[in-house]
Amino acid sequence: MSIGIRGNFVVGYDGAEHRMIRDGVVVVEGKRIKHVGKSYDDHVDRWIDAAGCLVTPGLINTHLHAATAPVDKSFLEDIGVRPLYGSNLGENLDALGDSITAADMEVYARYSLAECLKSGNTTVFELGMIPAIGEEKTLRVIGDSGIRACEGHVFGDGAFERVDKYDFKTRWLGEEVGAERLGNAVAFAEKYRGALGGRLITALSPSSILSSSIPLQRKIKAEADRLDVPVSIHAGEWVLEFQNMLRMYGKTPIGVLAESGLLSPRLTIGHCWAVSGHPLLAYPSTGAGDLGLIAAAGATVSHDPVVFAKRGNRMHSHSAYLKAGVNVSIGTDTAPQDILNEMRIASYVSKLADWDYASGTSREIFDSVTLRGARALGRKDLGRLAPGALADITVIDMTTLNTVPCRDPIRNLVNSAQRGDVKYVMVDGEMLVEEGRLVKVDERKLAEEVQRVTEAVWRKIPEHHPTKKTADEVSPPSIRGWGP
Ligand SMILES: [Zn+2]
């Protein structure tokens, strides 16, 4: 089956960079792109007239938690824990997480992937679905959605635990536990390599620098090299983590990753705002600092700005990391799984961090969700529209009230476009969003399910909160109820 898309603005790739083709075409044959250019004269089975639209490579999201994140919504906004430097990790998030059942998490995973697709996001580096719902269901949920997903076991050989009030420490679980968990992760990565018709990209995903010892990190690096798979880890995620790394090793989280050798072109570091030189840490860089280490190693940072902007914090900055030579991609992390929203906030918080309009430009942000995201996964056949690349394509309407007037569609994509402006989304040549609707999902039914399961979660909060607070005590409603 061949499909041709005619659009007013087609982002072609010339082998070195994106180039804008005015009134161009993209032709897909099966799973791959056959042709990109001004015109195409041969037969095509189906033509899609995307008049007034921007046709771009499918957007790549390098860090998200599909199975648990939706529960953050309507709950964690405007709240944090002050003694934990405003983070909800270790307290409110744990109370929520422990109140969710495996059945809820399957609903959430389906919902998150649907949200991703609706925002034009075709590839996700997902973390946490396997521990939440198991390998088989994870494959089924990803397969049913049609999205391209990078997936692996999330594991470690330590537990970062509360030992007293706001004192947290890592309890190491021993070499055997680490070896067994790494073994399971490796077995998954080998067994399911190229599953779902190639849509599944297997990975090794140690959960956090706090729960992965240096010896385990070394073994992960060796296995990742042997398997030729990408690796993900949380590091530079919160102040407590940064401080605990200094206490344990006398090194920053990035310094520890450099010592173990896990810091390499295979690695995508989730969040990574807490690096030497960040104003919140009062820990100046020496020499090129943490950014210099990341750049020298060729590792990727997943900039996930929304979840931190909500806590009053930001990475310093998207542009500064790029200037230091770091491959910066973008991830959504938590709800909403809306890559367009994340791109906009990434641009704005970069400008705010640098006090500079020229920071976080639309072009920088666009490259981060296309070419740089593909580099994070070690893939030259994603993130670009070029003959031979995989047919992952997003079409955004530039004629809606959100997106007119349009002179520069990349600026409009980053600054103005909304999820509702995403008209078509294709993965592997398969159309998953048509005329703005998900082809494989009953959207109304899914929304009802998410509401139903989450109401039950909120009721269970007191059972799992460290001080037995109710949902309304942890997160008071924005407006008090009517009456006395
Ligand atoms: Zn995360």
Each domain of the chain, given as residue ranges in start order, spans 2-57+386-438, 59-376
300-303, strands of its sheet edge to edge: 231-235, 267-271, 300-303, 327-330
Q: How far is the CA of 67 from the centre of ligand 1 (A)?
A: 12
Q: How far is the CA of 335 from the centre of ligand 1 (A)?
A: 11
Q: How far is the CA of 364 from the centre of ligand 1 (A)?
A: 22
pLDDT for position 374: 98
Q: Which of 389, 408, 429, 433 is nearest to 12 (CA)?
A: 389
Q: How far is the CA of 307 from the centre of ligand 1 (A)?
A: 9
> Angle, to 10 degrees, between the axis of helix 135-145 and the axis of helix 102-118?
30
The helix (H) or strand (E) run that includes residue 432 is strand 430-434
Q: How far is the CA of 269 from the centre of ligand 1 (A)?
A: 9
Q: How far is the CA of 241 from the centre of ligand 1 (A)?
A: 13
pLDDT for position 163: 87
Protein residues with C-beta less than 5 angstroms from the ion ligand 1: 270, 333
Q: Which of 401, 443, 290 is nearest to 52 (CA)?
A: 401
What's the one-letter identity of residue 278? H
Q: How far is the CA of 85 from the centre of ligand 1 (A)?
A: 17
Q: How far is the CA of 234 from the centre of ligand 1 (A)?
A: 6
pLDDT for position 92: 74
CATH fit for domain 2-57+386-438, picks 1.10.287.610, 2.30.40.10, 3.40.605.10, 3.40.50.970: 2.30.40.10
pLDDT for position 229: 98
Architecture of domain 59-376: Alpha-Beta Barrel (3.20)
pLDDT for position 180: 98
Q: How far is the CA of 258 from the centre of ligand 1 (A)?
A: 20
Fold match, 2-57+386-438 / 59-376: no
Torsion on CA atoms 406, 407, 413, 418, rounded to nearest 10:
-10
Where do we find the tokens 């002050």?
A: 82
Q: How far is the CA of 368 from the centre of ligand 1 (A)?
A: 18
pLDDT for position 466: 80
pLDDT for position 34: 98
- Mean pLDDT by runs of 10 across the 484 residues of the chain is 97 98 98 98 96 98 96 88 78 79 95 98 97 96 98 96 88 97 98 97 98 98 98 96 96 98 98 97 92 98 96 95 98 96 98 98 98 98 98 98 98 98 98 97 97 93 87 91 89
pLDDT for position 80: 82
pLDDT for position 154: 97
